Structure 1
Amino acid sequence: MSKVNFRLAPALHVALMRRAHGANLSLSAFIRQVLEQAVDERKRYVFSSQDEILATSIQILSILATSVGQRSPAALEQGMAQARAILAERGLLGEEDAS
């Protein structure tokens, strides 16, 4: 396997680290997959199956949140606060959303 070294701007490095962490991959594994996508003749998106799972999860959680919110707004607010904390911990929220 060949080895490639390159420099990244600090902001790009942070963004890539967040995306890699969110995909549950090391930075190297994440970048390798992104590079594979760049040379894929079919131009398919490397993480498409994860996107489909994410879309389905969002739909299910939206229905659940609506139901919980109608029954107990306080429980919904507590759950949303916990979700924001977990997402922020994993680097999946933007700077302004994490506060």
Structure 2
Amino acid sequence: MPKVNFRLDGTLYAALTRRARGANLSLSGFIRQLLEQAVDERKRYVFSSQDEILATSIQILSIVATSVGQQSPKALEQGMAQARAILAERGLLGGEDAL
């Protein structure tokens, strides 16, 4: 198997490392999948095997959040703050108020 070496700036390296950790992949495995996506003629999303699980999880969490919010707005607020912190730690928020 051919080997490729290249340099990254610190910010990009940190972001890729967080995203790889969030996807439960090694950095090399994550970058390999990104490169596969870049050359895929059908332009499909490489991580599509997890899309169904993600969609189902979002639906379930939305139902739970609605229920918790109706019963205890303060508990919902605390849960959302925790979710923001976890997502930020993994580099999965687009901005400060993405959630």
TM-score bucket (shorter structure): 0.7 to 0.9
Matches within 5 A, 1:75-90: 75-90=75-90
Q: Deviations over 1:28-71 (max 9, x none)?
A: 00001111122223322111122232122112111110111001
TM-score by length of 1: 0.79
Residues 1:57 and 2:24 are matched in the alignment: no
Looking at structure 2, the residues matched to 7 and 89 of structure 1 have their Cα atoms a distance apart, in angstroms, of: 24
**Which range moved further: 29-38 or 52-61?**
52-61
The 8 Å contact of residues 16 and 27 in structure 1, kept in 2 or not, is answered as yes
How many residues end up aligned between the 2 structures?
A: 98
The gaps in structure 2 that reach 5 residues or longer are: none
CA RMSD of aligned residues (A): 2.2
The gaps in structure 1 that reach 5 residues or longer are: none
The 8 Å contact of residues 19 and 90 in structure 2, kept in 1 or not, is answered as no
How high is the sequence identity, in percent, across the aligned residues?
86
TM-score by length of 2: 0.79
